[in-house]
Amino acid sequence: MDFRSLRFKLTLWYVLILGVLLISFSGLLYLTLSRSLYRDVDHKLRSLAELIATESTSPLNKFGFGNIDQTLEAAMNLKPVGKFIQVLDESGRIGRKSENLKNVRLPISLQALRNASNGSISYETTHSFGNTPLRIITYPVKENNQVAKIIQVASSLEDVEDALNTLFVILAVTVPSILMIASLGGLFLANKALKPVDRITQTARMITSRNLNQRIQTLKVKDEISRLVDTFNEMISRLDHSFRQIKQFTADASHELKTPLTILKGEVEVTLRKKRMPHEYEQILVSNLEEINRMSKIVEDLLLLSRADIGEIRLNKEDIHLNRFIQGLTEQMKILAQPKNIRIEISNHQEEIHVFGDALRMRELFINLIENGIKYTEEGGSILITLTQEAEPPAHPLTPADKRPVHFAKVIVTDTGIGIAKDDQERIFNRFFRVDKARSREQGGSGLGLSICRWIVEAHQGDITVKSEPGKGSSFIVRLPIPNQEQGMVNY
């Protein structure tokens, strides 16, 4: 048995508490019974003493000089079994006594004698009378306000002590036996309750990154352990999901880099097969550079995302005049849109909007979105950028009474392009996801742009969503919190 185990500790506590309760109960039972038995004896002694006293002082005193037992029987029809009676005169000399005393006398202590002469009653237990302990009452009888006689009545305590001893033996045997049985029962219960914990431990031991599809068998009874099992299974599911994502990501990244490398290798190999003219080499080098550029963009994007994942990228936040910022960016993007004859317009009827953000990252965010608009819109289409402001109740109020709205800058990039099917709308933010791989690759896309956009927006405590209808166009909605003027700081 492992003394550090939970089942041992549980059983120990259970037995300890039960032990304390049983011992207290037994002690109380013993004490109460013993007090009650002794009180009973005292009570009987006093009744008898009082009876003898009344009879002996009555004018019709029937106590002659005969045997006290006969007198009692004759006078009161009383046969006090097991009682020793002795009557003393005021100076302590023995007068009459019961037959069972024969030629011995009941002991009387100095203290009892002194009490009696003062008129008070004493109770004493003595062990000096034969083998059995005796309980003696010393009862003074007054006549004319003077102590005339002292009546002593004694009773053997043998029966009382026998009863108490028997009780003690019963308790001394039953309490340890009950504790023994209870500890076995406790151990059985603790074992039963903790059995699922063993199963959890065994399964957890078996789970590695290779077999994350394993689950612990769920329990029918819904208790704390079953909640633990459910939570554990949920945790494994999340781990499983993350591992799959990582694997998928690694596979996608390698595949993404492999394609341009294969093209590069093929081009170089074909070129080297024979001597070529200088302008042919130049052409091939230009094509090579295209693939190299594509690879270096993928590597750059991957590096950015993985550094973002481990929280290595610090944002250099500053005040950004969003209207002016978007205006400047759009002018640059118009050059890119020209070959496809796509119009880019800004709709901004609002007052000045300022956000607190990293200008470089913001630039990357909106360039990615506008670039996508250009890429996935047919020739002659258009892109509209709308800039508005909106407010909503705080999601995480500082106090329950804090109802001050949170203001957001809302930038919507709408194109009249090919649109995105409903099922793909959430997936386009996943790394390497492209609706049409061949088409995106043709246009130089690797499917990392929107993942970066989402990271940038979330790093600024904002959100990004998409609304789209295939064939009609798409709208990307970016919301960025606006600094709270009252607090002088950003309220996120």
Ligand X SMILES: Nc1ncnc2c1ncn2[C@@H]1O[C@H](COP(=O)(O)OP(=O)(O)OP(=O)(O)O)[C@@H](O)[C@H]1O
User: What's the half-sphere exposure (Cβ side, CA atoms, 13 Å) at 63?
Assistant: 18
Is the Cβ–Cβ distance between 141 and 151 less than 8 Å?
Answer: yes
Q: With CB cut-offs between 5 and 8 Å by kind, which of Mg ion, ligand X, none does residue 356 bind?
A: none
β-sheet bridge partners, residue 89: 149
User: What Rg, from alpha-carbon coordinates, does the chain have?
Assistant: 52
Please identify, using beta-carbon distances, which residue of 135 and 454 lies nearer to Mg ion: 454
Contacts with ligand X by CB under 6 A: the residue count is 23
Closest CA to 434 of 288, 260, 295, 256: 256
Whole-angstrom Cα distance, residue 42 to residue 51? 14
Q: Does 372 bind ligand X (CB under 6 A)?
A: yes
To ligand X, the closest distance from the beta carbon of 440 in angstroms equals 4
Is the Cβ–Cβ distance between 382 and 340 less than 8 Å?
Answer: no
Please identify, using beta-carbon distances, which residue of 462 and 473 lies nearer to ligand X: 473
Site string for Mg ion, 392-431 (x = CB under 5 A): ----------------------------------------
Q: Does 152 bind Mg ion (CB under 5 A)?
A: no
Whole-angstrom Cα distance, residue 96 to residue 70? 12
Q: Does 80 bind ligand X (CB under 6 A)?
A: no
Helices (H), 316-433: 322-337, 359-375
Residue among 417, 457, 478, 482 that touches ligand X (CB under 6 A): 417
Please identify, among the stretches 74-82, 161-169, 348-356, 365-373, the one whose residues bind ligand X according to the rule CB under 6 A. 365-373
To ligand X, the closest distance from the beta carbon of 248 in angstroms equals 15
Give φ, ψ of 471 to 5 degrees.
Answer: 90, -20
Q: With CB cut-offs between 5 and 8 Å by kind, which of Mg ion, ligand X, none does residue 474 bind?
A: ligand X
Residue among 449, 462, 473, 481 that touches Mg ion (CB under 5 A): 449
Whole-angstrom Cα distance, residue 81 to residue 160? 15
Please identify, using beta-carbon distances, which residue of 366 and 376 lies nearer to ligand X: 376
With residues binned 3-state (H G I as helix, E B as strand, rest as coil), the percentages for the chain, rounded to 5, are: 55, 20, 30
β-sheet bridge partners, residue 235: none
Please identify, using beta-carbon distances, which residue of 97 and 479 lies nearer to ligand X: 479
Q: With CB cut-offs between 5 and 8 Å by kind, which of ligand X, Mg ion, none does residue 357 bind?
A: none
Residue among 140, 260, 447, 462 that touches ligand X (CB under 6 A): 447
Is the Cβ–Cβ distance between 491 and 470 less than 8 Å?
Answer: no
Whole-angstrom Cα distance, residue 226 to residue 237? 16
Please identify, among the stretches 66-74, 87-95, 170-178, 447-455, the one whose residues bind Mg ion according to the rule CB under 5 A. 447-455
Site string for Mg ion, 360-379 (x = CB under 5 A): ------------x-------
Please identify, using beta-carbon distances, which residue of 372 and 386 lies nearer to Mg ion: 372
To ligand X, the closest distance from the beta carbon of 367 in angstroms equals 10
Q: Does 7 bind ligand X (CB under 6 A)?
A: no
Closest CA to 245 of 457, 450, 441, 432: 432
Contacts with Mg ion by CB under 5 A: the residue count is 2
Whole-angstrom Cα distance, residue 482 to residue 489? 9
Evaluate the CA torsion angle 138, 139, 140, 141 in order and state its sign. negative
Structure tokens at 491: 């309220």
Give φ, ψ of 145 to 5 degrees.
Answer: 65, 20
Q: With CB cut-offs between 5 and 8 Å by kind, which of Mg ion, ligand X, none does residue 11 bind?
A: none
To ligand X, the closest distance from the beta carbon of 458 in angstroms equals 15
Please identify, using beta-carbon distances, which residue of 155 and 372 lies nearer to Mg ion: 372
Q: Does 420 bind ligand X (CB under 6 A)?
A: yes
* Angle subtended by helix axes 322-337 and 359-375, to nearest 10: 40
Angle at 424 between CA 423 and CA 428, to 5 degrees: 150
Task: Count other Cβ atoms within 10 Å, centred on residue 15.
Answer: 19
Q: With CB cut-offs between 5 and 8 Å by kind, which of Mg ion, ligand X, none does residue 428 bind?
A: ligand X
Q: With CB cut-offs between 5 and 8 Å by kind, which of ligand X, Mg ion, none does residue 154 bind?
A: none
Please identify, among the stretches 279-287, 317-325, 335-343, 410-418, the one whose residues bind ligand X according to the rule CB under 6 A. 410-418
Q: Does 260 bind ligand X (CB under 6 A)?
A: no
Q: Does 80 bind Mg ion (CB under 5 A)?
A: no
User: What's the half-sphere exposure (Cβ side, CA atoms, 13 Å) at 301?
Assistant: 25
Is the Cβ–Cβ distance between 355 and 325 less than 8 Å?
Answer: no
Site for ligand X in 448-467 (CB under 6 A): 448-450
Q: Does 440 bind ligand X (CB under 6 A)?
A: yes
To Mg ion, the closest distance from the beta carbon of 432 in angstroms equals 12
> b/e string for 286-319 if b means 16 or more Cβ within 10 A?
eebeebeebbeebeebbebbeebeeeeeeeebee
To ligand X, the closest distance from the beta carbon of 224 in angstroms equals 45
Is the Cβ–Cβ distance between 124 and 142 less than 8 Å?
Answer: no
To Mg ion, the closest distance from the beta carbon of 465 in angstroms equals 16
Residue among 373, 381, 462, 481 that touches ligand X (CB under 6 A): 373
Interface contacts to ligand X, rule CB under 6 A: 368, 372-373, 375-376, 415, 417-420, 428, 433-436, 440, 445-450, 474
Interface contacts to Mg ion, rule CB under 5 A: 372, 449
